């Protein structure tokens, strides 16, 4: 034990005058009376009770001395924990695993109770701040000595469906004067995505061993072989030491139809993935659910969305459009991403040669003449050597542009504002992008006949990448987005706005092309000028589902928690004084 303010022990000197008051005897005054025998009985009774009165006075002295001593030691602030008494930053983990039930409470409720105990244990000179941690770190209360505001901040912490991301804690590293003299305390169950990268924080671990199973990974998408043919992938995990037998129920939510019940036996840790091909399976919203009640219910269901197959209508603008038409037809037969437009009006994008369409987006090969998308077409470049300028551009994904034969390329000038992706050694653009209002054109500076580009393996890759980029369909969106993740909305251009409705019914306006962080599991509905889209969101995280917290150890140094010894000493002093007051009034009455 140590005393934080030992100088206040000098107040014990007040016991000396207190004892003197109790032992001080007042000499009685002599007064003449007319009849002594009337007082004799009183003197006799007083002499018989003298010993009791002396003992009663000693008891009162002991009680008052005890009260004085309790107050004196309370002022001296005894400390049994060995706390350094630095300022505190209390970080409460409220990720999905903290909603796991243990007995009659959840782990988050235990963490909040611990945080309140730490705030209660602050002395008058300490400041504290409160923050929460899941996929991001958020300050809930800034450094203050005001306990009520700190306790209110802890009370306001609610559960989330977000996974933990240790990287978010790196923002708490000491960066200012207050943080240099501050202890960072992380109250967590230890179910972290990468505990080895945990920054320098003191861990206060809560929660014990519980049994839980969940779906940690999921996918559902169209596969070749039929118009309504879907492939399912599920990865179940379990923290149970014993095998768990249950069913996975697959439901098409739009039709409210139970499609499949899959019996599974789950062992501890990762299990073999569940894969299945579904015939006559419509697109739309699907769920896969585990049929059991365990510690964490959020991870028992995954929400999956399969978009309807809506191929992009492609028009061909060229005198010799045989190869251009056939590459579109090939995609129509495989992944049904593209289809030949019935006429120019219905085409959303064009594959063109020589010139660009007036209003629609297009991929233009062998540019000729003058255009808003190129100018000053000159002589042919002999043996052009391509160099990639924009290496990470999505149009060049899976495309080895430096091995393409750009025979037939001509000197030309890209307009101001164009994005040059590939250029030759002399700086002439070989592939560049240009936007004019809503129209966007990809210019490929080569002669596809001379370069035999139609016979190259890079021809379908460029058509695929170009049409996907110009129609804002880069990459197939996942069937389910992990909570805390974001979705690139197909058809939503950068800077365009859309309305998004969350699973709980809240509507927000988003700015494309991304939705921003999705916080709830369920289905989101997104509407924009180019159409509508649904998005499934689920808690898919092995660390959250397995609830294993044995890898992370409690590293917190000694710290005061709960009511301080000074508080209880003051309570003792008040109770003793109250008891002495009762005894005093009884003496007065009796």
What integer pLDDT is reported at residue 538 of this predicted model? 95
- 333 lies in a domain? yes
* Domain-embedded: residue 444: yes
Q: How confident is the model at residue 588 (pLDDT cuts 50, 70, 90)?
A: low
The answer to whether residue 497 sits within a structural domain is yes
Answer whether residue 48 shows pLDDT above 50.
Answer: no
Q: Are 520 and 537 in contact (CB under 8 A)?
A: yes
Q: Do the beta carbons of residue 121 and residue 559 sit within 8 Å?
A: yes
DSSP 500: E
Q: What is the pLDDT of residues 1-45, one digit of tens each?
A: 566 566 666 666 766 776 666 666 556 677 776 666 666 666 665
Question: 36 and 169, same structural domain?
Answer: no
In a domain, 222, yes or no: no
Q: Flag whether 292 is in a domain.
A: no
pLDDT tens digits, 96-131 = 999 999 888 999 999 999 999 888 888 767 889 999
Alpha carbons 120 and 129: distance in angstroms, whole number:
13
Q: Mean pLDDT for the chain?
A: 84
Residue 266 lies in a domain: no
Report whether 543 contacts 163 (CB < 8 A).
yes
The per-residue pLDDT for range 171-218, each reduced to its tens digit, is 766 555 556 678 889 999 888 888 777 778 889 998 888 889 999 999
288 part of a folded domain: no
Residues 436 and 396 in one domain: yes
Residue 504 pLDDT greater than 90, yes or no: yes
Choosing from 451, 470, 489, the residue where a domain stops is 470
Instruction: Say if 182 falls within a structural domain.
Output: yes
Q: 351 and 418, same structural domain? A: yes
* Mean pLDDT, residues 353-374: 93
The torsion region of residue 417 among left (phi > 0), alpha (psi -120 to 50) and beta comes to: left
Instruction: Specify the CATH number for the domain of residue 445.
Output: 3.40.50.880
pLDDT tens for each residue of 217-254: 999 988 766 667 899 999 999 988 889 999 999 999 99
Q: Is 481 helix (H, G, I), strand (E, B) or coil?
A: strand
Q: Which residue has the higher pLDDT, 345 or 176?
A: 345
Domain that holds residue 395: 312-470
Q: Which of 11-25, 98-112, 429-443, 533-547 has the lowest mean pLDDT?
A: 11-25
**pLDDT at position 215:** 94
User: What pLDDT digit, counting tens, does each position of 324-336 carry?
Assistant: 999 998 888 776 7
Number of domain units in the chain: 4
pLDDT band at 507 (very low <50, low <70, confident <90, very high): very high
Over residues 373-393, the mean pLDDT reads 92
Q: Could you tell me if 161 and 132 are in contact, meaning their C-beta atoms sit under 8 angstroms apart? A: no
Is the domain of 323 the same as that of 448? yes
Distances (CA, A) of 311 to 346, 349, 390, 417, 479: 12, 12, 28, 30, 18
Does the structure show a pLDDT above 80 at 318?
Answer: yes
Number of H helices, E strands in the chain: 10, 30
Whether residue 168 sits in one domain with residue 57 = no
Pairing of strands 87-93, 182-188: parallel
Q: Name the burial class of residue 426, with classes exposed (0-12), middle (13-18) and buried (19+) by CB atoms within 10 angstroms of its CB.
A: exposed
Are residues 384 and 501 located together in one domain of the fold?
Answer: no
What pLDDT sits at residue 52?
Answer: 45
Output the pTM of the full model.
0.68
Residue 471 is predicted with a pLDDT of 84
Residue 131: closest CA among 162, 191, 90:
90
Q: Could you give the dihedral angle defined by the CA atoms of residues 140, 146, 149 and 151, in that order, rounded to the nearest 10 degrees?
A: 90
Inter-residue contact 569 to 70 (CB < 8 Å):
yes
**What CA–CA distance (Å, rounded) separates 365 from 353?**
5
Q: Regarding beta strands 128-133 and 87-93, do their DSSP bridges make them parallel or antiparallel, or are they unpaired? A: parallel
């Amino acid at each position: 034990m140590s005393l934080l303010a030992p100088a206040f022990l000098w107040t014990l000197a007040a016991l000396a005058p207190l004892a003197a008051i109790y032992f001080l005897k007042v000499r009685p005054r002599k007064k003449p009376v007319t009849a002594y025998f009337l007082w004799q009985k009183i003197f006799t009774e007083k002499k018989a009770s003298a010993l009791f009165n002396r003992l009663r006075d000693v008891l009162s002295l002991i009680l008052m001395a005890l009260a004085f001593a309790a107050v004196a030691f309370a002022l001296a602030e005894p400390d049994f924990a060995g706390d350094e008494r630095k300022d505190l930053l209390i970080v409460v983990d409220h990720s999905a695993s903290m909603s796991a039930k243990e007995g009659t409470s959840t782990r988050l409720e235990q963490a909040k109770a611990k945080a309140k105990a730490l705030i209660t244990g602050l002395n008058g000179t300490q400041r504290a701040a409160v923050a929460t941690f899941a996929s991001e770190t958020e300050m809930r209360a800034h450094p203050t000595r005001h306990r009520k505001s700190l306790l209110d901040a802890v009370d306001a912490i609610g559960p989330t469906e977000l996974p933990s991301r240790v990287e978010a804690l790196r923002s708490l590293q000491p960066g200012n004067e207050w943080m240099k003299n501050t202890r960072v305390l992380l109250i967590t169950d230890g179910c972290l995505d990468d505990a080895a990268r945990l920054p320098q924080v003191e861990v206060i671990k809560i929660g014990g061993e519980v049994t839980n199973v969940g779906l940690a990974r999921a996918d559902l998408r169209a596969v070749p072989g039929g118009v309504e043919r879907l492939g399912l992938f599920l990865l179940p995990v379990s923290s149970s030491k014993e095998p768990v037998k249950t069913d996975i129920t697959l439901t098409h939510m739009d039709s409210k139809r139970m499609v499949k019940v899959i019996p599974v036996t789950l062992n501890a840790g990762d299990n073999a993935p569940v894969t299945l091909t579904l015939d006559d399976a419509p697109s739309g919203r699907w769920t896969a659910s585990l049929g059991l009640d365990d510690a964490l219910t959020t991870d028992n269901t995954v929400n999956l969305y399969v978009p309807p197959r809506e191929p992009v209508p492609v028009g061909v603008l060229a005198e010799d459009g045989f190869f251009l038409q056939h590459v579109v037809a090939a995609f129509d037969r495989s992944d049904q991403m593209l289809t030949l437009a019935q006429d120019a009006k219905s085409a959303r994008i064009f594959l063109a040669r020589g010139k660009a369409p007036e209003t629609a987006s297009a991929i233009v090969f062998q540019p000729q003449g003058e255009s808003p998308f190129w100018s000053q077409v000159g002589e042919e470049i002999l043996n052009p050597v391509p160099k990639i300028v924009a290496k990470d551009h999505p149009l060049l994904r899976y495309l080895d542009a430096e091995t393409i034969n750009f025979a037939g390329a001509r000197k030309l000038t890209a307009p101001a504002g164009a994005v040059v992706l590939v250029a030759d050694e002399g700086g002439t653009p070989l592939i560049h992008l240009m936007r004019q209002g809503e129209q966007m054109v990809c210019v490929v500076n080569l002669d596809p006949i001379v370069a035999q580009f139609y016979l190259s393996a890079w021809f379908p890759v460029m058509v695929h990448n170009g049409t996907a980029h110009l129609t804002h369909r880069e990459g197939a969106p996942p069937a389910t987005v992990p909570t805390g993740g974001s979705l690139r909305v197909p058809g939503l251009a950068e800077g365009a706005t859309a309305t998004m409705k969350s699973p709980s019914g809240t509507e927000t306006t988003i700015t494309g092309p991304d939705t921003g962080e999705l916080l709830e599991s369920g289905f989101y509905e997104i509407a924009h000028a180019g159409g509508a889209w649904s998005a499934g969101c689920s808690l898919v995280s092995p660390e959250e589902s397995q609830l294993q917290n044995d890898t992370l150890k409690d590293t917190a140094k000694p710290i005061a928690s709960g009511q301080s010894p000074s508080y209880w000493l003051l309570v003792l002093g008040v109770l003793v004084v109250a008891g002495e007051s009762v005894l005093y009034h009884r003496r007065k009455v009796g």
